[in-house]
Structure 1
Amino acid sequence: MEDKSNETPQHKLPRSRKRVLTLLAWATAAVLVICGGTGGYLYWKLNGNIKTVDINSALGSDRPAASTTGAMNILILGSDSRSGGNSKVAGGTDDGTARSDTAMVIHVNEAHTHADVVSIPRDTLVTRPTCGTKAGASGVMFNTAYEVGGATCAVKTVESMTGLRMDHYIEVDFEGFAKLVDALGGVTVTTTVDINDTDSGLHLKAGTHKLTGQQALDFVRTRHGVGDGSDLGRIELQQQFVKSLMSQVQSLGLLTDPVKLYELASTATSAITTDSDLGSVTSLVSFAESMKKIKSADITAVTMPNTTAPSDPNRVVALEPEATELWTALQNDVAVPESVKALQSADPATSVSASTAG
């Protein structure tokens, strides 16, 4: 979830993503894993909350082959749409457009015991393939693919960039994100520096804070208040926040509070858009069950290797050969190369701790 400004300076290679997250999508699915006892009506209502996109039918056969081993790739997008209630929580007006300003590719290994999380900076210049009636283009920003052709074009662009088939797609918008945090009772973060960002409206002293949904949205969107003001620093805040969000979900003791359980499940299912294969409570539960062996220590998280674009100091391009080495490793279901890990420098703007919200 980012703001719509595309004037983000990029000055250095991505920082370390350290022991990161199981992702907002997994937090959503984890809430649903224990929804089996809510009854037929509630189950039907939760199913009706989920919005879907039939990406497989739209893309057809002109895409990378699906894995036959059980390995899996998921594309997570954060939309900056201002439609509906999004303009109220994020500011701005609805001009009928939206971009995918947060993008993470999650590769789950064959045994479903390890996951690699790769963030794609929104300001990456890419070659966008033809999407429906929209002609392809080179040297355009990655996040415009969603604007041009929605989820389908975003998936097609990622598959073209990576050579990986995206088996699933999950999208979250501003309003859904804020509502989920509020339903959790807030999420606690600890910052190691003061954050003062007049653009996002976030002002936090160094220390521990329990954030409301609105504050959490401002936190994951901030970039001017920390680091060098680049989108790369913001990626780190987002990844660390999701780790805290996961811890918050796990600490709530939902089995003993069915009312809270339903409230969270209803909010979570209303907050996401998925591919049609994942677009039911049953499918989300199965998806979450397949991930339950993966713990924080089993996750490797990096940003796609990148460097400042020669044509524009405010944009980045894939750094070669490291970017290709990364995608090839995931295609072959092997570990992230050391050449890629070496690019991640430890310089976090914040650390995150989680506690049960009261």
Structure 2
Amino acid sequence: MIKAAIIGSTGYSGEELTGLLYKHPNVEIDFLCSHSYVGEPFSNLYGNLKKFVDEKCISDEEAFKRIKNLDILFTALPSGKALEFGKVAIENGVKFIDIGSDFRLKSKELYKEWYNLDHKYTNLLETAIYGLPELNRSKIKEAKLIANPGCYPTASTLALAPLVKNNIIDTKSIIIDAKSGVSGAGRKASVANLFVECNDSIKAYGVATHRHTPEIEQNLSELSSKEVILTFTPHLIPMSRGILSVCYGNLINEMDAEELMNLYRDFYKDEYFVRIIDELPETRWVKGSNFCDISVRVDKRTNRVIVISAIDNLMKGAAGQAVQNMNLMFGLKENTAIEMTPIFP
């Protein structure tokens, strides 16, 4: 059995991961750590897990002492908070997956610019593998430290990868318009996330400043072998979970939608969790699953391609993808414990 633990277990991503690891046939949860709920039974916080996960949350201090006994450590923490845990895990030969943002950007200068934080462990930053299995599977299998991708970057990168990799679009023309459910903002108390503030409304936020922008640009730059600068605008919509990413780019040559759909089908032909569909993707058809649905349209008037992707931000955008990465790291079947069908209605 793989001995695992989660730091930051009581946030939405941490809770989702806890449920997945509890059901995983090859995993034993050694401990759950929470800064805010030390000594509290986990199921008191999340009643859906009563009689499944009733153990008490431990403190950060206790967690540091027990890391050395693990096979893998997960962190689901705010920016800057996973660094010390990652350092201790790697020093003790424990595999480490950070669901947060602390190891996603390869440049410490870029990390400082977008997160206004100094990265203390650049040696770890240099060795971290970006955990998007559809693009980095072979590296993930050999990795000790995984930077689990952000939710918006997962949906957007998977949507644009075939176009950028095959030089189909002008990379200077990329615009991403994405929308997320409120769980993407985390479980912290915030007036902006209250029901009355969110319900019956939609709003853009982080316009031209959202921290996932450099992450998406980094991914697409690697695929295209040249610098990609794009426009990314996220929106908050009144639903619990899900991301819909609508991506635009100018075609270099004229192509029709069927040609591009065939390109996508070929690019992702071996990917279990990417579904290339004829219909326009909807978040309701991926809710509660690790799937990413993608479809392509072409606006012939403007010679512009429009790619739409849908994921569950807590699954393929966070906890589900973390388990997918763990399965690869330990040589397990990739879809173990995350092969569930989407929840509907």
- TM-score (norm. length: structure 1): 0.26
Q: Which fold has the larger relative contact order, with Cα–Cα distance below 8 Å and residues 6 or more apart in sequence? A: 1
